[in-house]
Amino acid sequence: MLSVPLLKNRPMKRLLIYMSVVSLFGIVGFSPAFAKQDGTLHIEKDNPKIITLEKAVANALLKNPTLSAHSLEKRVREARTLQSGLLPNPRLEVNVDDALGSGPFNGFDRSETTVQVGQLIELGGKRGARENANRIAERVADKTYESKRLDILTDVNKAFVEVLSSQNKVKLTEELIELGDKFFNAVGERVKAGKVAPIEQTKAGVTLSTFKIEMAHAKLELKQARRKLSSTWGNAEPQFVSVTGNFFKIYPVPLLESLQNKGVETPYLERWKSEQERRQAMVELERANGTPDVTIKGGYRRLDESNDNAVTFGISIPLQIFNRNQGAIAEAQHRLAKVQQERRAAELKINQNFLEAYQSLVLAHSQASTLQSEIVPAAQLAFDGVNEGYRFGKFGFLDVLDSQKTLFHTQELYLSALAEYHKAIAEVHRLTNGFKFSDRIPVSSKNMENDK
């Protein structure tokens, strides 16, 4: 179904008006929904060959291999936190002295057997510092996963828009071929009547062939777009035939101030905050590692020569004369300073990307709105007038050909502008953490009421 006013086709125009009235969802609310006479929405039954944006997003979130890998990284960090909190294992030592030697020590009669258990006691809060650093690393992994999730959602949205745009491009080209075929036959009738030269029918045939070449190119683009969309959930070849969504609805652009404050809530920046906290925790951990640990030992000794028993115990402490972990502490401090600068650079970069995305949205919205309300209707009106006038001999073949090309080019620009508009919406959503299945780019309540 092509809702754009491509040709002078009354049913198509009525359908466009109908869809404009009943549509309540934007690019992030695609669904095959239609209004009944009582004003309620009717949702069509699921068709596995026709997918909505919600279905595409669900497939990607469940099956995208990159996202699955990041999900496993979260499990890795959790396991590392578990390991870091475990106590060191005690050590069992068994020593036999003065045995299997020479002379009176050739057997075990004068041997001494010692069985001893030792336990390392970590001092300086090492275990707590390790656990803290790894818990913060879990948060970093969580934010990394959420960031990648936003990237995947954006990719799905943009790929979905490309499929919708390509479907409409194919429909546009089909209607132009139908138009070209009718015009070719009309010119043939005028040639038979002797009103125009046969060369004009040849030219009309060339134009028709050009449209057919455009059709082959449009179908190829659609095939590539479908494959790109299905790859977001790990399928090399798409299992669906088409997508459905409200491609022609244009919403007001929200104010910059209402979106800019949301940039700080995105996982991209929250990840850097958590990473800085992790680096600070690593500094504390390396300082704790500078405190020497104590090993306590205790056990039993058997003296075979005198048939006596004895208890042994001891303690060992490393003497920190040379290595006080000063190099590792300095490294951790430098890494902390580094991540502070990286965080600042990331904030500036994300803010710049947001402003560029917002400006792209404003421009795309302006272009799509102008094409929809002014340029496309004017091109359609001009084509209808020239086509009607040609039948009565008021315009020549070149006039009709020129109006055809103008209409086709205008419709292509319109589809491209709509695609860029919806992609810009997806990019702004990514940078403001605004993806919701039942939501669109937020606008003021007044605009929402007017829109409805």
pTM: 0.74
Q: Which pair of tokens denotes residue 334? A: 């430098």
Q: Do 10-86+143-290+330-451 and 89-121+291-324 come out as alike in CATH topology? A: no
Residue 18 binned pLDDT confidence (cut-offs 50, 70, 90): very low
Q: Please state at what angle helix 376-391 crosses helix 126-192, rounded to 10 degrees.
A: 20
Return the amino acid letter for 348: L
**Whole-angstrom Cα distance, residue 418 to residue 85?**
54
**Whole-angstrom Cα distance, residue 62 to residue 55?**
11
Q: Is the pLDDT of residue 45 over 80?
A: no
Domain ranges of the chain: 10-86+143-290+330-451, 89-121+291-324
Q: Which pair of tokens denotes residue 410? A: 């205008």
Q: Is 271 exposed, middle or buried (0-12, 13-18, 19+ CB in 10 A)?
A: buried
**155 phi/psi in degrees, rounded to 5:** -60, -40
- Are the CB atoms for 80 and 137 separated by under 8 Å? yes
What's the whole-number mean pLDDT along residues 211-233? 93
DSSP 47: B
**Whole-angstrom Cα distance, residue 128 to residue 293?**
14
The reported pLDDT for the residue numbered 25 is 30
Q: What is the total residue count of the chain? A: 452
**Whole-angstrom Cα distance, residue 30 to residue 27?**
6
The reported pLDDT for the residue numbered 436 is 55
Q: Give the residue with greater pLDDT, 370 vs 257.
A: 370
Q: What is the CATH number of domain 10-86+143-290+330-451?
A: 1.20.1600.10
H/E stretch holding 299: strand 294-303
Residue 46 binned pLDDT confidence (cut-offs 50, 70, 90): low
Check if CATH label 2.70.98 holds for domain 89-121+291-324. no
**Whole-angstrom Cα distance, residue 303 to residue 112?**
5
